[in-house]
Structure 1
Amino acid sequence: MSKEFLNPPRGIRDIVGLDAELYEYLMNEFRKTARFHGFKPVIPPTIEYSRLFEAKSGEEIKKSMYVFKDKAGRTLALRPEVTASIIRIYLSKYKGEVKPIRLYYIAQCFRYEEPQLGRYREFWQGGLEIIGDRDINSDISVSLTASDYLDRINCKHYYVVGNVAFHRTILSRANISIDKQDYILHLIDKNIIDKAIEFVKENTSEEYVDLFREVISKPIDKLRDLINDYKKILGDSVEILSSEIERTVTFIDVLKQLGYNTVYEPKLVRGLAYYTGLIYEYRAESRVLKTSIGGGGRYDNLTTVYGGSSEYSTGLALGLDRIALVLTSESNTIEKILTKQNREILIISLENTPLDYSYRVLKTLVKNNIESWIYRTNNISKGLSIANRKKIGLVIIIGEREFRENKVTIKNMESGEQSTIDT
Structure 2
Amino acid sequence: MKRRQSNPARRAPRFAALGLTAIALAVPLAVGATYFGRAEGAVYSLSNAPSGNRVLIFDRMSDGSLDPRRSFPTGGNGTGGGLGNQGALALSDSGNWLLAVNPGSDSISVFLVFGNHLLRTDVESSRGMQPVSVAIEDDIVYVLNAGSDNVQGFRLAVHGKLIPIPGSRRTLSARGAGAAQVSFNRAGDLLAVTEKATNRVLTFAVDGDGKLGETNVQDSPAPTPFGFAFGRRDQMLVSEAAGGAAAASTLTSWQLRADGSASPITAAVPSQQTAACWVAVTRDGRYAYVANTGSNNLSTYVVDEDGAASLADAIAAQTGAGSAPADLALDRGSRFLYALNPGTGSISAFRVGTDGALQLIEHQATGAAVGGATGLVAR
TM superposition score category, shorter chain reference:
under 0.3
Please give the TM-score of this superposition, normalised by the length of structure 2. Answer: 0.26
Going by fraction, where is strand more abundant, 1 or 2?
2
Q: Higher relative contact order by CA 8 Å / sep ≥ 6: 1 or 2?
A: 1
Q: TM-score, normalised by structure 1?
A: 0.24
If you compute each CA radius of gyration, which structure gives the higher value, 1 or 2? 1
Please state which structure has a larger fraction of its residues in helix. Answer: 1
